[in-house]
A = this chain, B = another copy of it.
Amino acid sequence: MKIAILGSGRMGATLGRLWASCGHDVTFAYSRDRARLDRLAKETGGAAGSVREAVDGADAVLLAVHWSRIRDVLEQAGDLAGQIVLNCCVPLDDDDSALVLGPETSGAEELARMRPEARWVSCFNTSPSESFEPVFACKETGPRPHSIVYGDDDGAKDVARDLIGDIGFEPLEAGGLSTGRYAEPFAMITAVLAYGQPGGPALTYRFDKLR
């Protein structure tokens, strides 16, 4: 799959690296530091480019920027009409201490309003990026941790499910984009548990049903 990674922080860089190692064709874009994009491209056998170059012809776009950069990156990306966009952004304030949206809307829904022709799906936002490499490392053994996926476009969700599985998570169906009202705060819970409690940040979760 041809994947555009918009944002080269820990989230974008880690997912891009792991997808590249699965054989996907990854293009890194959107960093204050162009050399960082070039390093990621070299390291993974992928490419580095402008947002527009990355997005053009991509089978999936990963949106992985700080919420404060959303308008800027979307402007560079254009209308994204018909493109599958995996959103892992949480609508945080500038010092990452609080959500700026909720409870009657969510980042997921606001993004869909900003680019109504894109095929939005939300995923990866409820797992700390530090968990991705350990999850990937043991994806052939043991029960897979869950990663919730939600959105209103079934085809986009199918693509997201495949890309979630490539990392080593079991995708867990969690409804439409409005689930973002609850999932974005849930992302904050995982942050509290990952960074605020002993044991390191590589937090995973599983939901199970008993009878």
Q: Chain A interface (Cβ within 8 Å of chain B)?
A: 98-104, 131, 134-135, 138, 145, 148, 172-175, 179, 181-186, 188-190, 192-194, 196-197, 199-211
Contacts and interface: CB of A to CB of B under 8 A. Distances in A.
Q: Please provide the 4 A-B residue pairs with the shortest distance between their CB atoms, ordered closest to farther.
A: A185-B185, A134-B210, A182-B188, A199-B209
Given A183-B189, A199-B209, 16 more contacts: A102-B103, A103-B103, A103-B185, A134-B211, A175-B196, A181-B185, A182-B186, A183-B185, A185-B185, A186-B189, A200-B211, A202-B210, A203-B208, A204-B209, A204-B210, A205-B207
A92 to B, nearest CB: 10
Contact of A145 (B98, B134, B194, B208): B208
Nearest to A137: B210
